[in-house]
Amino acid sequence: MIATIRALTGTNPARYIGDSSDPARPKTRDLREESRRVFRARVVNPKWIASMQRHGYKGGLQLAATVDYLFGYDATAEVLEDWMYEQVTERYLRDPAVQQWLEQSNPWALQAMAERLSEATERGLWSAPSPEALATLRALLERGEEWREGLSKPGAGAGYDA
């Protein structure tokens, strides 16, 4: 609905989300504020990332899904800021320990995140990525091309800390 209203009027409407995690006390929150709250509490929280690592392949899939959800919310409701994309890239793709874990447990998730974050730059959602973030995305995308062309195998280690 947000995207439709923006398309019809040219302006963003008020954006809210319902939180019924505690059914006894449902809350309505501003979508931008909720995005920031969830981002800090979960998305880039080292404890949450570590908990995902304990789940192996499935944890990598959850990180990739998280990047997809963020992208989707931003594409439709314009709620993310550049610093959020930058931190996701830093914590999920540039952190050597997380990168190595993803390379070993779910290299396809690593590739999917690089593709989605690259799309965010192409679509202007992430308007000013750092040179380091762009270099990491390029290296990961190149590695994915090598996989598809049979020049290397997923999980073989790549060293994307450009």
Q: Is the four-CA dihedral 64, 156, 131, 123 of positive or negative sign? A: negative
Q: Could you give the CA distance from residue 98 to residue 91 in angstroms, rounded to a whole number?
A: 7
For the residues of 99-131, what is the DSSP string, one character each? Answer: HHHHHHH-HHHHHHHHHHHHHHHHTTSS-S--H
* pLDDT tens per residue across span 50-74: 999 999 999 999 999 999 999 999 9
**Cut 0.75: pTM above it:** yes
Q: How high is the pLDDT of residue 146?
A: 81
Sequence spans of domains, the chain: 31-148
Q: How high is the pLDDT of residue 125?
A: 97
46: Cα within 13 Å, side-chain hemisphere: 2
Q: Could you give the CA distance from residue 67 to residue 85 in angstroms, rounded to a whole number?
A: 9
Q: How high is the pLDDT of residue 161?
A: 46
Q: Which of 153, 116, 152, 108 is nearest to 137 (CA)?
A: 116
Q: Could you give the CA distance from residue 151 to residue 144 in angstroms, rounded to a whole number?
A: 10
Q: How high is the pLDDT of residue 162?
A: 45
- Distances, alpha carbon 10 to alpha carbons 2, 71, 145, in Å: 11, 21, 39
For every one of its 162 residues, what pLDDT tens digit does the chain have, with 9 covering 90 and above?
888 888 899 888 888 899 898 999 999 999 999 999 999 999 999 999 999 999 999 999 999 999 999 999 999 889 999 999 999 999 999 999 999 999 999 999 999 999 999 999 999 999 999 999 999 999 999 988 887 777 666 665 544 444
